[in-house]
Structure 1
């Protein structure tokens, strides 16, 4: 039976149930608004289903196996057997628990859930097409809307994801057997995280990158331990090349042809690399082209990003955008914050977006985490920064874990000591950065951080010691 086109109304329409959309929906429900959340695929979006959560689950699992296999120094001798299908099944269970929780929380906050694809008819109306044969569509009128449709992996010419040996990150995370070899196109954070995962599973990994180093945008001192660990894992790099085409090889694999990048002055010869699988990880692009935004009077930039102000509002006064579709940085926690702000602004609350203390984390080995300003950014903003560092090799707790690569760096304004930012590379960087993010958010000083008693032995003592180093009286490292 075909469901007829019916018209309903809502105070707040939210398109997309990822970290930006579902958080906005729950917050709007808490503020006693009538909320409708439209999702075309799976609650939790890419992050919970195909990105942040599944990748971190596999990173954790492969870390455990690798640590067990390389712990002879601790007197542990093991040869773990990897069952990737079992690992993926466990990962899927984690995902199912979280996505089911999202659905329950939305319903508990009286959010109406609709499955389908939303497109704008005009500035106050969308058409929701329901998936499945004979499911029809319905028209939804709204007072305010929040667009939170997220992003998708970028395709490059001649490497379409529908071709079986060519994978995007989502497909790579769903493999049920370990490839013998893999070429990864792109050495950004996604490429480097997955390169580490598959190398620890025993895959021979080669990374092609058009630039001359991994993870552009991060300082060299942060990237250096990650690159060294990748080398130790046997990951090979071909810098200054772009993947141009592929074809079947003689051994039932694939042969990738890589041409020198325009900036590569050292070579004019193409590379040919053989592998069982090819993972393309060159970045993500916003999903905005499916919405018929022009019908609502909303324009995007050349990348498809919806431009917003500090209240997450688009060029249309009553339509907001949050998350990846609203541009960089494409981080789940940034999207959640923007979703909350949008919901609160719609409810008349005095809320605004502040990226000053927005952390960024890369779950490589070792992890990288940053928040606030770097030293060069502080100087460019007119500050006279003072910098303190503490190496993990001087941390008693790091030594007891066997993970001593990296350091904590804290940047502060010299005259008053206000913390401006921090960078960490090393064990548990993703957790340690929270304290420094709070310091930036609260306008804490070096003295505040240094005089806060940190439990011993912990990795967090390294934060205290970095602050003391900036003040010139660190105990467990030489002072500047």
Structure 2
């Protein structure tokens, strides 16, 4: 195997949203940058087997669902014909075009891209091995952006093709008649939304007492009511036995020894940081009590010239968090006195209905003993929601009663992810209820529910009975 040595000012390990954002920002700031990716294409999990393909499939799911709902309005469509091969090719064209876009931008910025597996040798060098060669990279600064991988259940028959992880589910191998999803988190619920619309009968099993425990109960209750006809939810239950039979995978639950046969099982119980092969322990990079890489507010590890960003440094494991961290790390390396100190980071479950939240939830405000008040506007009172078959939903704002400032918000309903930005900006800008309620919102829209919720808090609401 050939071996060569190169020098770079910054080496970025991993080309997901955090990694490529860091590399591109470094290059834009005039730093000689090298980007390492172990797979053949750039983009990481998010672009190739995560955010982007899942949202493509969720778009199909949304159109199928909305076309069915139109039958209530007198517009009838034939039953959809699902061509899984065409859907897969369409999804792959989307990710492929974005892959090409990233490669083009890296080339335009004169970033050296090396495909291979990286391993730290010391705090100033690492090796990258591919099938053809071994490259030793000497660097001034390094940024670790290797993302995360799916958590596996112990003693589970993963060698059987009917046992899926999220990547398998997004690859659209087939549409199972019966699909069991283990885990009621965001990934599990999004995949349930997709496969249910494509025709699968869905069971979801979770050991927790309720879905998405980070979300307020009043919001989850609306979600459960909306999806109960689509999914069979088995909460506070665990699996005691798995049997691989010719006709399917037979699953026995521990509480009542009930047996069910499935065509496929998707394991979606969470993700863990992906740094096992980097040799970071031998060079002394510190790991925190949750097994994430430990960093400061400038994204430095305990080794001052090595930074870490994205999923490897902890929750929330979200692409948009990693992107911003990548920018900060690059700017700090370039000599700017910047810090990653966001007030809030938005979270979204792209289910049907969508659930989006930012800042403090009501249950968090209670736990922190904040003197708060919530204001809720139900979408059943929204003209836009009613005319759009989107009346199942609500907008909920959390205010600090002492200052009237908004400290959190949550939306459940169609396009909640697109509506959340006003709340995020309001919290970052330190807006109070009056700032929001006196901002004229277009009518009829879904986003006016944010202004109307602020009016509920103010006691100026006219679209509902004014309790105040």
TM-score, with length taken from structure 1: 0.94
The alignment partner of 1:144 has SS state of strand
1:368 aligned to 2:355? yes
- Displacement, 1:478? 2.5
User: Does structure 1 retain, via aligned residues, the 8 Å contact 2:311–2:317?
Assistant: yes
The alignment partner of 1:71 has SS state of helix
Q: How far apart in 1 are the matches of 2:382 and 2:234?
A: 35
Alignment of 1:89-238 (within 5 A): 89-130=89-130, 132=131, 135-233=132-230, 235-238=231-234
Q: How far apart in 2 are the matches of 1:464 and 1:271?
A: 49
User: Does structure 2 retain, via aligned residues, the 8 Å contact 1:159–1:245?
Assistant: no
After superposition, the Cα gap between the structure-2 partners of 1:281 and 1:222, relative to the gap in structure 1 and judged at 3 Å, is: same
1:77 aligned to 2:101? no
The corresponding residue for 2:49 is: 50
1:12 aligned to 2:10? yes
- Displacement, 1:163? 2.2
Q: How far apart in 1 are the matches of 2:173 and 2:388?
A: 31
The corresponding residue for 1:39 is: 37
The corresponding residue for 1:464 is: 451
Alignment of 1:362-441 (within 5 A): 362-381=349-368, 383-441=370-428
Q: How far apart in 2 are the matches of 1:69 and 1:89?
A: 25
1:281 aligned to 2:279? no
Instruction: Render the CA deviation track for 1:26-62: whole Å, top value 9, x for unaligned.
Output: 1111111111110001311101110111111101102
The corresponding residue for 1:68 is: 67
Instruction: Render the CA deviation track for 1:95-135: whole Å, top value 9, x for unaligned.
Output: 112222122222222221111110001111101011x3xx0
Unmatched tracts of structure 1, length 5 or more: 260-266
The alignment partner of 1:469 has SS state of helix
User: Does structure 2 retain, via aligned residues, the 8 Å contact 1:124–1:141?
Assistant: yes
Q: Bigger CA drift: 347-356 or 435-444?
A: 347-356
The corresponding residue for 1:352 is: 339
User: Does structure 2 retain, via aligned residues, the 8 Å contact 1:390–1:462?
Assistant: yes
Q: How far apart in 1 are the matches of 2:276 and 2:403?
A: 48
Q: Bigger CA drift: 429-438 or 168-177?
A: 168-177
Q: How far apart in 2 are the matches of 1:352 and 1:406?
A: 36
After superposition, the Cα gap between the structure-2 partners of 1:395 and 1:96, relative to the gap in structure 1 and judged at 3 Å, is: same
1:255 aligned to 2:250? yes
The alignment partner of 1:104 has SS state of helix
After superposition, the Cα gap between the structure-2 partners of 1:470 and 1:222, relative to the gap in structure 1 and judged at 3 Å, is: same
User: Does structure 2 retain, via aligned residues, the 8 Å contact 1:387–1:410?
Assistant: yes
User: Does structure 2 retain, via aligned residues, the 8 Å contact 1:158–1:246?
Assistant: no
The corresponding residue for 1:59 is: 58
User: Does structure 2 retain, via aligned residues, the 8 Å contact 1:69–1:80?
Assistant: no
- Displacement, 1:250? 5.0
- Displacement, 1:88? 1.8
Unmatched tracts of structure 2, length 5 or more: none
User: Does structure 2 retain, via aligned residues, the 8 Å contact 1:454–1:461?
Assistant: yes
Q: How far apart in 2 are the matches of 1:110 and 1:382?
A: 52
**CA root-mean-square deviation:** 1.5
The alignment partner of 1:213 has SS state of coil
Q: Number of residue pairs matched?
A: 465
1:25 aligned to 2:44? no
After superposition, the Cα gap between the structure-2 partners of 1:179 and 1:376, relative to the gap in structure 1 and judged at 3 Å, is: closer
- Displacement, 1:326? 0.6
Q: How far apart in 1 are the matches of 2:304 and 2:235?
A: 46
- Displacement, 1:379? 4.5
The alignment partner of 2:141 has SS state of strand
1:316 aligned to 2:316? no
After superposition, the Cα gap between the structure-2 partners of 1:470 and 1:21, relative to the gap in structure 1 and judged at 3 Å, is: same
Instruction: Render the CA deviation track for 1:118-156: whole Å, top value 9, x for unaligned.
Output: 0001111101011x3xx0211001111110000011110
Q: How far apart in 2 are the matches of 1:374 and 1:291?
A: 37
User: Does structure 2 retain, via aligned residues, the 8 Å contact 1:12–1:143?
Assistant: yes
Q: How far apart in 2 are the matches of 1:326 and 1:238?
A: 32
User: Does structure 2 retain, via aligned residues, the 8 Å contact 1:369–1:423?
Assistant: yes
Q: How far apart in 1 are the matches of 2:221 and 2:242?
A: 31
After superposition, the Cα gap between the structure-2 partners of 1:160 and 1:17, relative to the gap in structure 1 and judged at 3 Å, is: farther
Q: How far apart in 2 are the matches of 1:348 and 1:160?
A: 50
- Displacement, 1:216? 2.3
User: Does structure 2 retain, via aligned residues, the 8 Å contact 1:465–1:474?
Assistant: yes
The alignment partner of 1:114 has SS state of strand
- Displacement, 1:386? 2.5
- Displacement, 1:230? 1.9
